[in-house]
Amino acid sequence: MPVIRWLISKTIHFFLGSADARRSGAIAKQKENGTFEGASAEKARTFEDRYAAAVRLLRTRVDQAFPDAYYARLSSGRNSSYDYGQDRALAIDTMSIAIAMALRNGATIQQAANAGAASIGI
């Protein structure tokens, strides 16, 4: 009997455990990309939390399109003599306004991030 219980336990663990591993791997990739929103993420969030989450979703895209001066100097495809600071500041201001307006109008975090990205053309 213990052998049968052990075999059944291992079989169940094999099927359910591999699904959990795939799910956790997918969640880890989403967190690395900044696109993960948990099931309870929308509940009980204040405006500031939702705004910060939307900005986090856009951070890497903004950094690629509008590098700060340090990364502009290090990148081979960027003009090191050009000051990207004003372009970046203007883009962040525009994006911030679009995200705030979308959140005030009842948009989800992902919708607000998409509105922010559309406002600066990325």
Structure confidence by residue, pLDDT tens digits, 53-96: 999 999 888 888 887 765 555 556 666 666 677 888 899 999 99
pTM above 0.75, yes or no: no
The stretch 94-103 carries a mean pLDDT of 94
- Residue 42, pLDDT above cutoff 70: no
CA 103/CA 106 separation, integer angstroms: 5
pLDDT at residue 60, rounded to an integer: 84
HSE-CB at 33 with a 13 A cutoff on CA atoms is: 9
Break the chain into its structural domains and give their ranges.
Answer: 1-33, 41-120
CA 38/CA 76 separation, integer angstroms: 37
Size of the chain in residues:
122
Cβ neighbours around 92 below 10 Å, total: 16
Confidence of residue 34 (pLDDT cuts 50, 70, 90): low
Nearest Cα to Cα of residue 119 among 101, 100, 94: 94
The stretch 96-108 carries a mean pLDDT of 93
Confidence of residue 10 (pLDDT cuts 50, 70, 90): confident
pLDDT at residue 98, rounded to an integer: 95
